[in-house]
Chains A and B, each alone.
Chain A
Protein backbone atom coordinates (compact mmCIF):
# COMPACT_ATOMS: atom_id res chain seq x y z
CA UNK A 1 0.00 0.00 0.00
CA UNK A 2 1.24 3.40 -0.86
CA UNK A 3 2.27 5.35 2.14
CA UNK A 4 0.52 8.65 2.15
CA UNK A 5 3.53 10.84 2.62
CA UNK A 6 3.11 14.47 1.81
CA UNK A 7 4.93 14.07 -1.51
CA UNK A 8 2.84 11.15 -2.63
CA UNK A 9 -0.46 12.90 -2.00
CA UNK A 10 -1.42 13.79 -5.52
CA UNK A 11 -2.31 17.32 -6.47
CA UNK A 12 -5.68 15.94 -7.46
CA UNK A 13 -6.34 14.74 -3.99
CA UNK A 14 -5.59 18.12 -2.57
CA UNK A 15 -8.34 19.76 -4.53
CA UNK A 16 -10.82 17.21 -3.27
CA UNK A 17 -10.94 18.73 0.13
CA UNK A 18 -14.11 20.68 0.37
CA UNK A 19 -13.76 22.25 3.77
CA UNK A 20 -10.66 23.87 5.21
CA UNK A 21 -11.15 22.23 8.55
CA UNK A 22 -10.52 18.81 7.16
CA UNK A 23 -7.38 19.87 5.30
CA UNK A 24 -4.33 18.98 7.27
CA UNK A 25 -0.90 20.62 6.77
CA UNK A 26 1.36 18.53 4.58
CA UNK A 27 3.98 17.82 7.20
CA UNK A 28 1.67 15.93 9.42
CA UNK A 29 0.35 12.53 9.58
CA UNK A 30 -0.29 9.95 7.00
CA UNK A 31 -4.03 10.41 6.84
CA UNK A 32 -4.63 13.33 4.51
CA UNK A 33 -8.27 13.92 5.15
CA UNK A 34 -11.15 12.33 6.93
CA UNK A 35 -12.51 11.46 3.55
CA UNK A 36 -9.51 9.29 2.99
CA UNK A 37 -9.76 6.11 4.98
CA UNK A 38 -6.47 4.54 5.93
CA UNK A 39 -7.38 1.23 4.37
CA UNK A 40 -7.77 2.60 0.87
CA UNK A 41 -4.81 3.50 -1.29
CA UNK A 42 -3.69 7.04 -1.70
CA UNK A 43 -5.52 7.88 -4.84
CA UNK A 44 -8.78 6.20 -4.04
CA UNK A 45 -10.95 8.08 -1.63
CA UNK A 46 -14.54 7.94 -0.56
CA UNK A 47 -16.82 9.59 -3.05
CA UNK A 48 -16.42 13.30 -3.00
CA UNK A 49 -19.02 15.55 -4.43
CA UNK A 50 -16.91 17.94 -6.42
CA UNK A 51 -14.90 15.50 -8.52
CA UNK A 52 -13.31 16.85 -11.65
CA UNK A 53 -13.68 14.62 -14.70
CA UNK A 54 -10.77 12.27 -15.31
CA UNK A 55 -9.12 12.75 -18.65
CA UNK A 56 -10.23 9.93 -20.90
CA UNK A 57 -7.14 9.81 -23.13
CA UNK A 58 -4.75 9.03 -20.31
CA UNK A 59 -6.96 6.24 -19.07
CA UNK A 60 -7.29 4.65 -22.46
CA UNK A 61 -3.54 4.74 -22.94
CA UNK A 62 -2.94 3.25 -19.54
CA UNK A 63 -5.47 0.53 -20.20
CA UNK A 64 -3.87 -0.24 -23.52
CA UNK A 65 -0.43 -0.39 -21.96
CA UNK A 66 -1.77 -2.68 -19.26
CA UNK A 67 -3.38 -4.92 -21.84
CA UNK A 68 -0.17 -5.09 -23.83
CA UNK A 69 1.75 -6.05 -20.73
CA UNK A 70 -0.76 -8.77 -19.93
CA UNK A 71 -0.63 -10.07 -23.48
CA UNK A 72 3.14 -10.19 -23.37
CA UNK A 73 3.05 -12.05 -20.07
CA UNK A 74 0.51 -14.48 -21.49
CA UNK A 75 2.62 -15.11 -24.57
CA UNK A 76 5.67 -15.76 -22.40
CA UNK A 77 3.80 -18.20 -20.18
CA UNK A 78 2.26 -19.97 -23.12
CA UNK A 79 5.67 -20.37 -24.75
CA UNK A 80 6.88 -22.48 -21.85
CA UNK A 81 5.94 -26.07 -22.57
CA UNK A 82 3.69 -27.81 -20.02
CA UNK A 83 5.56 -30.16 -17.72
CA UNK A 84 4.57 -33.58 -16.49
CA UNK A 85 4.00 -34.02 -12.79
CA UNK A 86 7.03 -35.85 -11.35
CA UNK A 87 6.13 -39.28 -10.06
CA UNK A 88 7.18 -39.89 -6.48
CA UNK A 89 7.41 -43.65 -7.02
CA UNK A 90 10.44 -43.25 -9.22
CA UNK A 91 12.33 -40.90 -6.94
CA UNK A 92 14.06 -42.89 -4.19
CA UNK A 93 13.73 -41.16 -0.81
CA UNK A 94 16.85 -39.35 0.32
CA UNK A 95 17.30 -41.33 3.49
CA UNK A 96 18.21 -44.43 1.53
CA UNK A 97 20.90 -42.72 -0.48
CA UNK A 98 22.62 -41.01 2.45
CA UNK A 99 23.53 -43.97 4.65
CA UNK A 100 26.13 -46.47 3.49
CA UNK A 101 24.76 -49.48 5.28
CA UNK A 102 25.43 -52.83 3.74
CA UNK A 103 23.43 -55.92 4.45
CA UNK A 104 25.52 -58.88 5.56
CA UNK A 105 23.83 -62.08 4.53
CA UNK A 106 24.61 -65.36 6.23
CA UNK A 107 26.50 -67.82 4.02
CA UNK A 108 24.44 -70.75 2.77
CA UNK A 109 25.31 -74.38 3.17
CA UNK A 110 25.68 -76.34 -0.07
CA UNK A 111 22.55 -78.39 0.71
CA UNK A 112 20.55 -75.23 1.21
CA UNK A 113 21.78 -73.65 -2.02
CA UNK A 114 21.14 -76.95 -3.85
CA UNK A 115 17.62 -77.02 -2.45
CA UNK A 116 17.03 -73.46 -3.53
CA UNK A 117 18.26 -74.06 -7.06
CA UNK A 118 16.05 -77.12 -7.43
CA UNK A 119 13.08 -75.16 -6.06
CA UNK A 120 13.75 -72.38 -8.57
CA UNK A 121 13.81 -74.88 -11.40
CA UNK A 122 10.54 -76.42 -10.25
CA UNK A 123 8.99 -72.97 -10.04
CA UNK A 124 10.19 -72.08 -13.54
CA UNK A 125 8.75 -75.29 -14.89
CA UNK A 126 5.43 -74.63 -13.15
CA UNK A 127 5.24 -71.09 -14.52
CA UNK A 128 6.14 -72.31 -17.99
CA UNK A 129 3.31 -74.83 -17.90
CA UNK A 130 0.95 -72.13 -16.68
CA UNK A 131 2.01 -69.75 -19.45
CA UNK A 132 1.68 -72.43 -22.10
CA UNK A 133 -1.79 -73.32 -20.86
CA UNK A 134 -2.76 -69.66 -21.08
CA UNK A 135 -1.47 -69.32 -24.63
CA UNK A 136 -3.30 -72.50 -25.57
CA UNK A 137 -6.51 -71.21 -24.03
CA UNK A 138 -6.28 -67.91 -25.90
CA UNK A 139 -5.63 -69.73 -29.15
CA UNK A 140 -8.60 -72.04 -28.58
CA UNK A 141 -10.85 -69.05 -27.77
CA UNK A 142 -9.84 -67.22 -30.92
CA UNK A 143 -10.28 -70.30 -33.07
CA UNK A 144 -13.72 -71.11 -31.71
CA UNK A 145 -14.75 -67.48 -32.13
CA UNK A 146 -13.63 -67.47 -35.75
CA UNK A 147 -15.44 -70.74 -36.40
CA UNK A 148 -18.65 -69.38 -34.90
CA UNK A 149 -18.38 -66.23 -36.99
CA UNK A 150 -17.84 -68.30 -40.14
CA UNK A 151 -20.95 -70.31 -39.40
CA UNK A 152 -22.90 -67.12 -38.72
CA UNK A 153 -21.75 -65.70 -42.01
CA UNK A 154 -23.01 -68.73 -43.80
CA UNK A 155 -26.32 -68.35 -41.97
CA UNK A 156 -26.94 -64.66 -42.63
CA UNK A 157 -24.69 -61.86 -43.81
CA UNK A 158 -26.38 -59.04 -41.90
CA UNK A 159 -26.15 -60.78 -38.57
CA UNK A 160 -22.47 -61.38 -39.22
CA UNK A 161 -21.90 -57.71 -39.99
CA UNK A 162 -23.76 -56.70 -36.86
CA UNK A 163 -21.70 -59.13 -34.79
CA UNK A 164 -18.42 -57.74 -36.12
CA UNK A 165 -19.25 -54.18 -35.11
CA UNK A 166 -17.62 -52.84 -32.00
CA UNK A 167 -19.49 -52.75 -28.73
CA UNK A 168 -19.98 -49.21 -27.45
CA UNK A 169 -21.17 -50.38 -24.08
CA UNK A 170 -18.00 -52.32 -23.36
CA UNK A 171 -15.95 -49.30 -22.28
CA UNK A 172 -15.64 -47.90 -19.66
CA UNK A 173 -15.11 -51.21 -17.90
CA UNK A 174 -14.38 -51.38 -14.21
CA UNK A 175 -13.61 -54.29 -11.97
CA UNK A 176 -12.24 -54.60 -8.45
CA UNK A 177 -9.61 -57.21 -7.83
CA UNK A 178 -10.57 -60.40 -6.01
CA UNK A 179 -10.35 -60.16 -2.23
CA UNK A 180 -8.53 -62.56 0.06
CA UNK A 181 -11.64 -63.24 2.12
CA UNK A 182 -15.31 -62.55 1.43
CA UNK A 183 -16.80 -59.53 3.21
CA UNK A 184 -17.71 -60.16 6.86
CA UNK A 185 -21.45 -60.16 7.42
CA UNK A 186 -22.64 -57.50 9.84
CA UNK A 187 -19.31 -55.74 10.09
CA UNK A 188 -19.52 -52.25 11.57
CA UNK A 189 -16.53 -50.21 10.48
CA UNK A 190 -15.32 -47.41 12.78
CA UNK A 191 -16.18 -43.91 11.74
CA UNK A 192 -13.45 -41.88 10.22
CA UNK A 193 -12.41 -39.84 7.29
CA UNK A 194 -9.79 -39.69 4.57
CA UNK A 195 -7.75 -36.61 3.92
CA UNK A 196 -5.99 -36.20 0.61
CA UNK A 197 -2.48 -34.91 1.26
CA UNK A 198 -1.07 -35.29 -2.21
CA UNK A 199 1.52 -32.66 -3.03
CA UNK A 200 0.22 -30.22 -5.63
CA UNK A 201 2.78 -29.21 -8.24
CA UNK A 202 2.43 -25.94 -10.08
CA UNK A 203 4.43 -24.67 -12.97
Chain B
Protein backbone atom coordinates (compact mmCIF):
# COMPACT_ATOMS: atom_id res chain seq x y z
CA UNK B 1 0.00 0.00 0.00
CA UNK B 2 2.86 2.35 0.69
CA UNK B 3 4.12 1.82 -2.85
CA UNK B 4 0.71 2.51 -4.36
CA UNK B 5 0.05 5.55 -2.18
CA UNK B 6 3.06 7.69 -3.00
CA UNK B 7 2.90 10.24 -5.78
CA UNK B 8 6.45 11.06 -6.68
CA UNK B 9 6.72 13.99 -9.05
CA UNK B 10 10.07 15.65 -9.29
CA UNK B 11 9.75 19.39 -9.46
CA UNK B 12 12.61 19.71 -11.92
CA UNK B 13 11.23 17.20 -14.38
CA UNK B 14 8.81 18.27 -17.11
CA UNK B 15 6.31 15.73 -15.79
CA UNK B 16 5.83 17.76 -12.64
CA UNK B 17 2.18 18.37 -11.95
CA UNK B 18 1.07 15.77 -14.43
CA UNK B 19 -2.40 14.50 -13.63
CA UNK B 20 -3.59 17.71 -11.91
CA UNK B 21 -6.93 18.90 -13.15
CA UNK B 22 -8.68 20.61 -10.24
CA UNK B 23 -7.29 23.97 -11.28
CA UNK B 24 -9.27 23.67 -14.50
CA UNK B 25 -12.63 23.15 -12.81
CA UNK B 26 -14.79 26.15 -11.73
CA UNK B 27 -14.41 27.09 -8.09
CA UNK B 28 -16.97 25.45 -5.83
CA UNK B 29 -18.61 27.63 -3.20
CA UNK B 30 -18.39 25.75 0.12
CA UNK B 31 -21.84 24.54 1.16
CA UNK B 32 -23.12 26.54 4.12
CA UNK B 33 -24.37 24.36 6.91
CA UNK B 34 -27.76 25.25 8.28
CA UNK B 35 -27.19 27.56 11.22
CA UNK B 36 -28.51 26.06 14.41
CA UNK B 37 -30.90 28.17 16.39
CA UNK B 38 -28.98 28.81 19.55
CA UNK B 39 -29.74 31.17 22.33
CA UNK B 40 -27.33 34.05 22.50
CA UNK B 41 -25.91 34.99 25.87
CA UNK B 42 -28.12 37.25 27.87
CA UNK B 43 -26.09 40.06 29.37
CA UNK B 44 -27.14 41.30 32.77
CA UNK B 45 -25.70 44.76 32.38
CA UNK B 46 -23.68 46.76 34.83
CA UNK B 47 -24.80 49.20 37.50
CA UNK B 48 -24.90 52.06 35.03
CA UNK B 49 -26.20 50.12 32.04
CA UNK B 50 -29.16 47.88 31.45
CA UNK B 51 -28.57 44.45 29.93
CA UNK B 52 -30.69 42.95 27.14
CA UNK B 53 -34.03 44.70 26.94
CA UNK B 54 -36.96 43.63 24.78
CA UNK B 55 -39.22 46.30 23.35
CA UNK B 56 -42.37 44.36 22.48
CA UNK B 57 -45.04 46.00 20.39
CA UNK B 58 -48.39 44.28 20.09
CA UNK B 59 -51.38 45.20 18.01
CA UNK B 60 -54.23 43.87 15.92
CA UNK B 61 -53.04 45.97 12.98
CA UNK B 62 -50.11 44.39 11.14
CA UNK B 63 -48.87 47.32 9.04
CA UNK B 64 -49.00 49.72 11.96
CA UNK B 65 -46.99 47.51 14.26
CA UNK B 66 -44.46 46.73 11.51
CA UNK B 67 -43.93 50.38 10.76
CA UNK B 68 -43.63 51.26 14.42
CA UNK B 69 -41.06 48.51 14.91
CA UNK B 70 -39.09 49.84 11.95
CA UNK B 71 -39.28 53.33 13.42
CA UNK B 72 -38.00 52.15 16.81
CA UNK B 73 -35.18 50.20 15.16
CA UNK B 74 -34.08 53.22 13.13
CA UNK B 75 -34.33 55.45 16.17
CA UNK B 76 -32.01 53.14 18.11
CA UNK B 77 -29.59 53.08 15.18
CA UNK B 78 -29.61 56.85 15.05
CA UNK B 79 -29.02 57.17 18.79
CA UNK B 80 -26.21 54.58 18.54
CA UNK B 81 -27.92 52.09 20.83
CA UNK B 82 -26.85 48.59 19.98
CA UNK B 83 -29.72 46.52 18.56
CA UNK B 84 -29.14 42.79 19.05
CA UNK B 85 -32.12 41.46 17.19
CA UNK B 86 -35.33 42.63 15.65
CA UNK B 87 -37.79 39.80 15.14
CA UNK B 88 -41.44 38.94 15.01
CA UNK B 89 -43.25 36.73 17.48
CA UNK B 90 -45.71 34.16 16.14
CA UNK B 91 -49.15 35.52 15.33
CA UNK B 92 -52.02 34.70 17.65
CA UNK B 93 -55.53 34.24 16.29
CA UNK B 94 -58.60 34.80 18.42
CA UNK B 95 -62.22 34.12 17.66
CA UNK B 96 -64.50 36.62 19.31
CA UNK B 97 -67.99 35.36 20.05
CA UNK B 98 -70.73 37.36 21.61
CA UNK B 99 -74.01 36.34 23.16
CA UNK B 100 -77.04 37.36 21.14
CA UNK B 101 -79.49 39.66 22.81
CA UNK B 102 -82.42 37.29 22.62
CA UNK B 103 -81.06 33.83 22.67
CA UNK B 104 -78.52 31.64 24.26
CA UNK B 105 -76.48 31.02 21.14
CA UNK B 106 -73.04 32.50 20.79
CA UNK B 107 -72.55 34.28 17.53
CA UNK B 108 -69.26 34.73 15.80
CA UNK B 109 -68.35 38.39 15.76
CA UNK B 110 -64.87 38.47 14.30
CA UNK B 111 -61.57 36.65 13.90
CA UNK B 112 -58.79 38.84 15.23
CA UNK B 113 -55.09 38.31 14.65
CA UNK B 114 -52.64 39.73 17.19
CA UNK B 115 -49.21 40.60 15.87
CA UNK B 116 -46.14 41.24 17.95
CA UNK B 117 -42.77 42.65 17.02
CA UNK B 118 -39.71 42.68 19.26
CA UNK B 119 -36.67 44.92 19.12
CA UNK B 120 -33.89 43.78 21.42
CA UNK B 121 -31.39 46.36 22.61
CA UNK B 122 -28.31 46.15 24.74
CA UNK B 123 -26.26 48.60 26.71
CA UNK B 124 -28.84 51.26 27.34
CA UNK B 125 -27.34 53.73 29.78
CA UNK B 126 -29.31 54.54 32.88
CA UNK B 127 -29.37 58.28 32.18
CA UNK B 128 -30.61 57.87 28.62
CA UNK B 129 -33.32 55.31 29.33
CA UNK B 130 -36.03 57.76 30.43
CA UNK B 131 -35.37 59.94 27.37
CA UNK B 132 -35.74 56.97 25.03
CA UNK B 133 -38.91 55.91 26.79
CA UNK B 134 -40.30 59.42 26.44
CA UNK B 135 -39.55 59.54 22.71
CA UNK B 136 -41.07 56.11 22.03
CA UNK B 137 -44.16 56.90 24.04
CA UNK B 138 -44.77 60.19 22.28
CA UNK B 139 -44.65 58.43 18.92
CA UNK B 140 -46.73 55.44 19.96
CA UNK B 141 -49.59 54.99 17.47
CA UNK B 142 -53.08 54.19 18.62
CA UNK B 143 -53.90 50.58 19.19
CA UNK B 144 -50.27 49.57 19.67
CA UNK B 145 -49.49 48.19 23.10
CA UNK B 146 -45.91 48.78 24.22
CA UNK B 147 -44.06 46.57 26.67
CA UNK B 148 -40.43 46.92 27.69
CA UNK B 149 -38.87 44.20 29.79
CA UNK B 150 -35.64 42.37 30.43
CA UNK B 151 -34.85 39.54 28.07
CA UNK B 152 -35.04 36.10 29.66
CA UNK B 153 -34.52 32.54 28.50
CA UNK B 154 -38.25 31.94 28.75
CA UNK B 155 -38.82 34.66 26.17
CA UNK B 156 -36.46 32.91 23.80
CA UNK B 157 -38.03 29.52 24.43
CA UNK B 158 -41.47 30.85 23.60
CA UNK B 159 -40.31 31.38 20.02
CA UNK B 160 -39.36 27.73 19.55
CA UNK B 161 -41.59 24.88 18.55
CA UNK B 162 -42.72 22.64 21.36
CA UNK B 163 -41.34 19.12 21.40
CA UNK B 164 -43.85 16.90 23.14
CA UNK B 165 -41.97 13.66 22.40
CA UNK B 166 -38.78 14.95 23.96
CA UNK B 167 -40.67 16.18 26.99
CA UNK B 168 -42.46 12.86 27.34
CA UNK B 169 -39.22 10.94 27.20
CA UNK B 170 -37.61 13.25 29.72
CA UNK B 171 -40.57 12.81 32.04
CA UNK B 172 -40.36 9.04 31.66
CA UNK B 173 -36.65 8.97 32.32
CA UNK B 174 -36.78 10.95 35.53
- In the complex, the answer to whether B99 meets A192 with C-beta atoms within 8 Å is yes
- In the complex, the answer to whether B88 meets A90 with C-beta atoms within 8 Å is yes
Residues of B near A198 (CB, < 8 A) are 90-93
Q: How far is the CB of B166 from chain A (nearest CB, A)?
A: 5
Identify which of residues 112-162 in chain B touch chain A, using a CB-to-CB cut-off of 8 Å. Answer: 113, 115, 126-131, 133-135, 137, 140-150, 159-162
Chain A 73-98 interface 0/1 with B at a Cβ cutoff of 8 Å (1 = within) = 11001100111111111100000000
- In the complex, the answer to whether A175 meets B90 with C-beta atoms within 8 Å is no
Q: Which residue of B lies closest to A170 (CB)?
A: B129
A70, B165: Cα distance in complex, Å = 11
Q: Which of B3-11, B17-25, B46-54 contacts A (4 or more CB under 8 A)?
A: B46-54
Q: Interface residues of A toward B: which range?
A: 35 or more
Q: How many residues of chain B are within 8 Å of chain A by beta carbon?
A: 63
Given contacts A78-B166, A84-B37, A196-B92, contact A164 B48 (CB under 8 A): yes
Q: How far is the CB of B84 from chain A (nearest CB, A)?
A: 16
- In the complex, the answer to whether A83 meets B148 with C-beta atoms within 8 Å is no
- In the complex, the answer to whether B162 meets A200 with C-beta atoms within 8 Å is yes
- In the complex, the answer to whether B147 meets A142 with C-beta atoms within 8 Å is no
- In the complex, the answer to whether B128 meets A142 with C-beta atoms within 8 Å is yes
A138 at the binding interface (Cβ < 8 Å)? yes
Q: How far is the CB of A63 from chain B (nearest CB, A)?
A: 13
B42 at the binding interface (Cβ < 8 Å)? no
Q: How far is the CB of A129 from chain B (nearest CB, A)?
A: 15
B29 at the binding interface (Cβ < 8 Å)? no
Identify which of residues 118-169 in chain A touch chain B, using a CB-to-CB cut-off of 8 Å. Answer: 134, 138, 141-142, 145, 149, 164-167
Residues of A near B133 (CB, < 8 A) are 170, 173
- In the complex, the answer to whether B126 meets A145 with C-beta atoms within 8 Å is no
Q: Out of A83, A174, A196, which one reaches B37, CB within 8 Å? A: A83
B41 at the binding interface (Cβ < 8 Å)? no
A88, B114: Cα distance in complex, Å = 11
Given contacts A84-B161, A165-B126, A171-B148, contact A74 B169 (CB under 8 A): yes
Q: Which of A14-22, A107-115, A177-185 contacts B (4 or more CB under 8 A)?
A: A177-185
A180, B99: Cα distance in complex, Å = 26
A142, B149: Cα distance in complex, Å = 23
Residues of B near A149 (CB, < 8 A) are 127
A83, B157: Cα distance in complex, Å = 10
